[in-house]
Structure 1
């Protein structure tokens, strides 16, 4: 695979292995086998998050990072061969076990979250540390319209960048990125970083596929003009674009191993909507 350059000394395989199913529908043994096979095929870019496994539960908080950490510990030298990305969760979205309901992604919260990820991953440094979703109120995870009445107090973008700067200066993070962000958010993170001499985001991880092309609505121009890379997640539309689901979100045939088939809660979310299934069939 021809590497892709996210930053001068951050080159990654063009395919990144997402791991949010590890620890829920994928056992640790299977996860380790998948990781081994990915590395053998030239995929050296791994992405995870502190809140994984998904669907999120208090009992499996941090499970995916823990599984990856054990995989790394059992394979001396592999850590130097991969680019490891993880994410700090934003303010609670029905997950009070992650810093409580009132958390606003403060500097102290970001630093503490990073320390926890480093311990679970059994590594001294995270190559790409991303903010999983914005601290401020924005339409995301399938929502379309901005509603200012939903605004709540939260840490400023500047404070979040200062937290990242502390981690970069301490050698615990190499580069920083965003996820589920808007054009405004990406622009503000870049503007404030340049204005205050803080770490500049190198990437944004947002959905992009045939049934979710919201990236093309202004975020594409923002990333192009600011030199911010896109890490496209759910490129197969959560599996909908493989054709394996019927119009209810259940598997057509065979064991019900897909996430929509396994977890009823997921059939009620964006990828399980009737409109999404209809669009995928087209």
Structure 2
């Protein structure tokens, strides 16, 4: 395994992070335990969860993923061996109304942290992230920003940082980060932190893959110049970049078979780009999955690459991508496809 540190900390994390959002829905607790055992044995010490998980979110399953992690930590007795990241839901929506409808207002952060600590059966969370912005902006598959002058959100960056600061001072969380955030919000949080001597956002967890390289716009520069590391999620584009949907080898419990509404990586453009990437991988004697993951891991702004799997075979292959090095010729071939078909995913 290769390790790095969370920006502005001395916390060592693996360059591959274990994503967990299928546990409690597509995966059982027993399967989650097996994945964590293998990941830790392979050198992965970084696990990512959220109060909302598993996905798709529902009142019946909400929090199950973190409960599985907590049960594993208790049974294995190895809390000191792993770095745990979690998230609080952001803007209220019908999708998460069963969790809370108050966003980050009032006692929401305190309530969310306490509930997550109980599920995880731990005294502290190493990295606590805002799952998505409270304000209206273009997240979750929306390509372009459309301003809504009637958005009821009021600027509360300072207030949110203050509430997170109280959690840090109470010893409940160690560091804070963002998720699904844009350039403006990221810089506002950094500005308020500097101006008011409040905790600094250390990381940003956004989608990043061969089919969605939009992070390479303004956010990549912010990441490098401000040292706020990307935790890249969906590096496999919901499994599309395994090539299994093109080859017709996807299992019945594959994500897009179970949940076809998650279609942001299923357009004609995405399919065509994936075919081209698959050809490059096969010409270079590697799987498309490992090429896709290695591409993400090698980016200079990536702190850790969040992989997910529904089977142990997938997990082993994905972890093995850490040993794949993409040379200049292969990277040029990848970038030629990107130039011809930039960011086909919405």
Give me the CA root mean square deviation.
1.5
- Partner residue in 2 for 1:99: 100
Whole-angstrom CA distance in 2 between matches of 1:52 and 1:73: 20
The structure having more radius of gyration, on CA atoms, is 2
The size of the alignment, in residue pairs, is 273
Aligned equivalent of 2:257, options 246, 254, 261: 261
Instruction: Show structure 1 runs of 5+ residues with no match.
Output: none
- SS of residue paired to 2:174: strand
Whole-angstrom CA distance in 1 between matches of 2:92 and 2:272: 31
Question: Is 1:270 the equivalent of 2:264?
Answer: yes
CA contact (8 A) 1:107 1:160 kept: no
* Over 6 Å off, 4+ runs: none
- Partner residue in 1 for 2:31: 30
Query: Could you tell me the TM-score, scaled by structure 2's length?
Result: 0.76
- Partner residue in 1 for 2:175: 175
Compute the displacement of 1:107 (Å). Answer: 4.7
CA contact (8 A) 1:48 1:64 kept: yes
Compute the displacement of 1:116 (Å). Answer: 0.7
Instruction: Show structure 2 runs of 5+ residues with no match.
Output: 277-346
Compute the displacement of 1:154 (Å). Answer: 4.9
Alignment of 1:105-120 (within 5 A): 105-120=104-119
Query: Could you tell me the TM-score, scaled by structure 1's length?
Result: 0.92
Compute the displacement of 1:51 (Å). Answer: 0.3
- Partner residue in 1 for 2:140: 141
Whole-angstrom CA distance in 1 between matches of 2:130 and 2:206: 11
Relative contact order (C-alpha < 8 Å, sep 6+): which is higher? 2
Alignment of 1:8-157 (within 5 A): 8-76=9-77, 78-95=78-95, 96-100=97-101, 103-149=102-148, 151-154=151-154, 156-157=156-157
Whole-angstrom CA distance in 1 between matches of 2:152 and 2:143: 19
CA contact (8 A) 1:104 1:154 kept: no
Whole-angstrom CA distance in 2 between matches of 1:20 and 1:262: 14
Whole-angstrom CA distance in 2 between matches of 1:237 and 1:9: 31
**Structure 1 residues 143, 110: CA separation in 2 closer, same or farther (over 3 Å shift)?**
same
- SS of residue paired to 2:12: strand
Compute the displacement of 1:93 (Å). Answer: 3.3
